[in-house]
Copies of this chain bind each other. A is one copy, B any other.
Amino acid sequence: MEQQLIRWLEERLGPGPKVPLALGDDAAVLQHSGSRSVVTVDLLNDGVDFVLPDDPPQRVGRKALAVNLSDLAAMAARPLAGVVALALPRQGAFELAQGLYEGMLPLAAEYDLVIAGGDTNTWDGPLAISVTLIGEVTDAGPLLRSGARSGDAILVTGRFGGSRLGHQFDFDPRVEEALWLITRYPLRAGIDTSDGLSLDLARVCRASQCGAELDKAAIPIADAAYAWAEQLGDGSTALDHALGDGEDFELILAVPPEAADALIDEQPLACGLTRIGRFVSEPGLWLLDENGSRTPLDPHGYEH
């Protein structure tokens, strides 16, 4: 639905001098008074992105802020300020709002982000929480989805799959990692994996008008992906979950091959940095097995 709406909007909206990049990336890029910033918004809903009261408000608040920080990371932007809008169920509204902020404030402090304001309402509906963040672009940024070229290596941070077992709430947005990398190495494109490794990679491919080959054995699979596959017992594999679960909130990066060699050698990130394949000129996604045989990969993950 969201992709359909974006296509409809793209015919009606477009970039302009004040907004060099609007729809279709992790954040919009703004140009004003000689400075560039990015702005991103994510709205989380009870029953979709979390389930009250099983997921306590502190965890929900943390997640609502963290997913937006991850969008800033995807643009390699430094967090500046945020605003928070809450639609709270009437019953216990104040305590719920407190809990949400108790989850947000420590994370905001950790990322040097100021919660600058908000709007707080009560209603007869379930909890909806919308966070908008503004970030500063470095001289090397912003990092877009559209810069990957055939031959670029595909690097990823961290590990993938099984996020429902807890990672979807507890993840660390890769803000410092993105800023560290973009100020030292040529990064051509990037995205965060909110909806699924294969689906988000396909978005980079589409924006960059290219395709990608993944080395099956190279994909870093989280322990939780194995646990989740076992728990489901539906014949799905840990690799399936790594490719499609989403809410990993890791980075996918397009990096020129020599720089990728250097980065893989250096291993500068505590969360790990893995080369999982390469961008190719032919549109599409493929999985390469150890014998070099290539099978098409359907991008899959969470569709809004």
Contacts and interface: CB of A to CB of B under 8 A. Distances in A.
A40 B132 CA distance: 10
A233 interface: no
Given A43-B85, A94-B5, A130-B85, A32 B136 contact: yes
Given A12-B101, A125-B126, 15 more contacts: A1-B93, A2-B121, A9-B101, A18-B81, A22-B116, A23-B116, A28-B83, A30-B80, A32-B35, A39-B83, A41-B117, A48-B122, A85-B130, A121-B304, A125-B128
A51 to B, nearest CB: 12
A112 B256 CA distance: 40
A25 B118 CA distance: 10
A123 B45 contact: yes
A4 interface: yes
Nearest to A79: B18
A153 interface: no
A7 to B, nearest CB: 11
A295 interface: no
A79 to B, nearest CB: 10
B81 A28 contact: yes
A229 interface: no
A33 to B, nearest CB: 4
Contacts of A80: 18, 30, 32
B37 A115 contact: no
A263 interface: no
Copies in the complex: 2
A19 B116 contact: yes
A185 to B, nearest CB: 24
Interface residues of A, number: 66
Contacts of A5: 94, 97-98, 101, 120
A46 interface: yes
Interface of A: 1-2, 4-6, 8-9, 12-13, 16, 18-19, 22-23, 25, 27-28, 30, 32-37, 39-43, 45-48, 80-81, 83-88, 93-94, 97-98, 101, 105, 114-126, 128, 130, 132, 134, 136, 304
A98 B7 CA distance: 11
A101 B6 CA distance: 11
A8 B81 contact: no
A117 B39 contact: yes
Contacts of A114: 13, 16, 18-19, 22
A18 B35 CA distance: 14
A73 B81 CA distance: 21
B27 A117 contact: yes
Contacts of A122: 1, 48, 304
Which 3 residue pairs are nearest across A and B when measured between Cβ atoms? A28-B116, A33-B35, A43-B85
